[in-house]
Amino acid sequence: MKKKNDYFKTFCKVSKAFGTTLDNKELIDLIVSSAIETMDAKAACLFLADEGKDIFVPVAQKGLSKKYLHANPLKAKTIVAAIQKEGFLHFRDATTDPRLEHHEAKKAEGIATLLSVAVVVRNRTIGILSLYMAKPKDFTEEEIEFMSAMAEQGGMAIENNRLIDQVRHNAKLFLDMAASINSSLEIKEILHKLTADLAESLEMKGVAIRLLDKEHEIFKLVASHGLSESFLDKGPVSAAKCLAHALKGETQVIEDVATSKEIQYRNETLEEGIVSMLCVPIRSKDDIIGVLRLYSGVKRDFPEDTIMLVNALAHQGGLAIQNASMLMMLQEDKTSLEKEIWSHRMWF
């Protein structure tokens, strides 16, 4: 009964903190310390996914020395895959288990048993919570369920904070883009800034903007960031072959370039180190005039909020192009009118 009371008290404390703090560091530190306290553990560590590098990195730990070595990221990926499948992994003897590395370091650290559970949000593993015991231990089903519930609750709090940060970040990015359009009529400058800002903000390998040449049915490059010259000069990009979705006004997500049948220059794309792509049409009123393409060096599924942001920015890019076109037309009309007035004056 005492153990159940401990679980209940821990959940109450953690839930209250999750509802009152927006500081991610405080949240993850609380998850780690609460797991140690309730489970009478030696130490705990929370690993979160770094999508840019496709690895899980330690973001908070307690009870471990600074010199303690965690698993090699490549080796850890196989363990993470097993945890994702089973929901948890139990290493009763962490100093000899062949699935783990650095057995001597674990002995020196005083680690006997290790329990790792997945931190899952919306069916996506965003992290791993590991518990380290000083003495060999067989965990009960109830203890494993408690750890999994702690990890799940922590994951939801971390994800909520991430979404709040993302909303603020997206709003700032959109505001900066709108300000750029209002402050400059140099269309190339605006589009180059858009590609650079998107690549940096969304941690993309590269971003490119191509405008439609209706006469030749190709998309011509007008702005890019982060992509090599050899990749950009690979050849004409056919409107019909690889950007048919854009011509229909559809957003296209390509999760895996290697298996997609809609890539015109597959070998060149793979050589550039591109794994996933997001293609968004650029409109001017009701016409499709171009495409905004985001290139990722790691596999991504592009969440809905990211797709909405990129579509909104593509729309802003379309407005900038429309404004620049109207200015050019006004300038041409002005020049034509001046010539016409001058020719009439010649009669007098």
Same domain, 188 and 154: no
Same domain, 212 and 67: no
pLDDT tens-place string over residues 268-322: 999 999 999 999 998 887 788 889 999 999 888 888 888 988 998 888 888 777 7
Same domain, 114 and 201: no
CB atoms within 10 A of CB 258: 11
Collect contacts of 182-185 with beta carbons under 8 A, ≥24 apart: 185/323, 185/324, 185/327
pLDDT tens-place string over residues 129-182: 999 999 999 999 988 988 888 888 778 777 777 777 877 887 888 787 777 666
Same domain, 211 and 153: no
Residue 241 lies in a domain: yes
Same domain, 243 and 323: yes
Residue 276 lies in a domain: yes
From CA 77, how far away is CA 168, in angstroms rounded? 32
From CA 11, how far away is CA 151, in angstroms rounded? 11
The amino acid that residue 55 corresponds to is: I
The CATH number linked to 56 is 3.30.450.40
Query: Quick one: which H or E segment has residue 44?
Result: strand 43-50
The amino acid that residue 331 corresponds to is: Q
**At 115, is the pLDDT very low, low, confident or very high (cuts 50, 70, 90)?**
very high
Per DSSP bridges, beta strands 124-133 and 113-121 are: antiparallel
Residue 107 lies in a domain: yes
> Of 105, 128, 163, which residue constitutes the final position of a domain?
163
What is the count of structural domains for the chain?
2
Containing domain of residue 311, as a range? 184-342
With beta carbons less than 8 A apart as the criterion, state whether 264 and 241 touch: yes
Confidence at residue 274, expressed as pLDDT on a 0 to 100 scale: 95
Give how far Cα 92 sits from Cα of 112, 115, 229, Å: 7, 8, 53
Number of H helices, E strands in the chain: 11, 11
